[in-house]
């Protein structure tokens, strides 16, 4: 049985446009895999704590030297990582806030980037340890940024995910969503059509 991990990072939950697109992806994936399982990680409904000194030090502390609180922190991180390792595909809804990714998504990333667990350094450089499953990034933006210097998301997402071993990424963009209803509808419809083609491929 195949498993899809859906990650929602919109502050507006299911009312967000990136969540709408990721839900469209899930709907079409389920049609292709009726027996498949969907695991939802909603970072608005259940935000991941932002990284602080206590959490960072817990990750660095050897297992046999951790306090009960440190072990609790590591267990939570392990749970997030296990979701990825158990997935066959990831659908990640990505809004753009102030030219960057949501802080809740950055907090999530900080909990899954663990030396010796999801990446390691070798004599040849860093090596990602996560399975290279497909990651579909559903990017919803109020303006038009793709291919411009203002697009800080695409390169960052590709670099970070590849660092962990997730090199099979596909971006599906819906842009200009705040630039009038006609343009918004057109952009969303085009993104949904791309999703349909991507899932069917």
**Residue 46 pLDDT > 90, yes or no?**
yes
Q: Give the pLDDT confidence of 142-197 residue by residue, as tens digits.
A: 999 999 999 999 999 999 999 999 999 999 999 999 999 999 999 999 999 999 99
Any known ligand binding at 10? yes
Any known ligand binding at 136? no
- What confidence score (pLDDT) does residue 200 get? 73
Any known ligand binding at 160? no
Predicted structure pTM score: 0.95
Alpha-carbon gap, residue 32 to 34, rounded angstroms: 6
Structural tokens at position 34:
């009726």
| 14 phi/psi in degrees, rounded to 5 | -70, -15
**Residue 137 pLDDT > 90, yes or no?**
yes
Alpha-carbon gap, residue 53 to 72, rounded angstroms: 15
- What confidence score (pLDDT) does residue 58 get? 98
Domain ranges of the chain: 3-200
CA distances from 82 to 39, 57, 77, 101, 105 (A): 11, 21, 9, 23, 17
Residue 7's beta-bridge partner residues?
41, 92
**Portion of the chain with pLDDT greater than 90, in percent:** 98
Q: Quick one: DSSP state of residue 14?
A: G
Question: Domain 3-200, what architecture?
Answer: 3-Layer(aba) Sandwich (3.40)
């Amino acid at each position: 049985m195949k498993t899809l991990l859906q990650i929602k990072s919109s502050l507006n939950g299911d009312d967000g446009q990136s969540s709408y697109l990721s839900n469209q992806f899930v709907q079409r994936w389920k049609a292709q895999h009726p027996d498949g399982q969907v695991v939802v990680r909603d970072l608005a409904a259940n935000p991941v704590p932002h990284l602080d000194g206590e959490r960072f030090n817990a990750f660095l502390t050897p297992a046999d030297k951790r306090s009960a609180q440190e072990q609790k922190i590591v267990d939570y991180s392990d749970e997030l990582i296990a979701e990825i390792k158990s997935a066959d595909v990831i659908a990640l809804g990505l809004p753009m806030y102030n030219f960057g990714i949501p802080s809740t998504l950055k907090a999530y990333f900080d909990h899954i980037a663990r030396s010796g667990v999801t990446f390691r350094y070798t004599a040849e450089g860093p090596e990602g340890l996560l399975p290279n499953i497909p990651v579909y990034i559903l990017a919803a933006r109020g303006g038009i940024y793709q291919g411009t210097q203002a697009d800080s998301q695409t390169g960052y997402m590709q670099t970070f995910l590849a660092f962990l071993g997730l090199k099979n990424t596909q971006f599906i963009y819906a842009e200009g969503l705040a630039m009038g209803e006609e343009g918004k509808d057109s952009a969303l419809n085009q993104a949904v059509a791309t999703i349909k083609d991507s899932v069917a491929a």
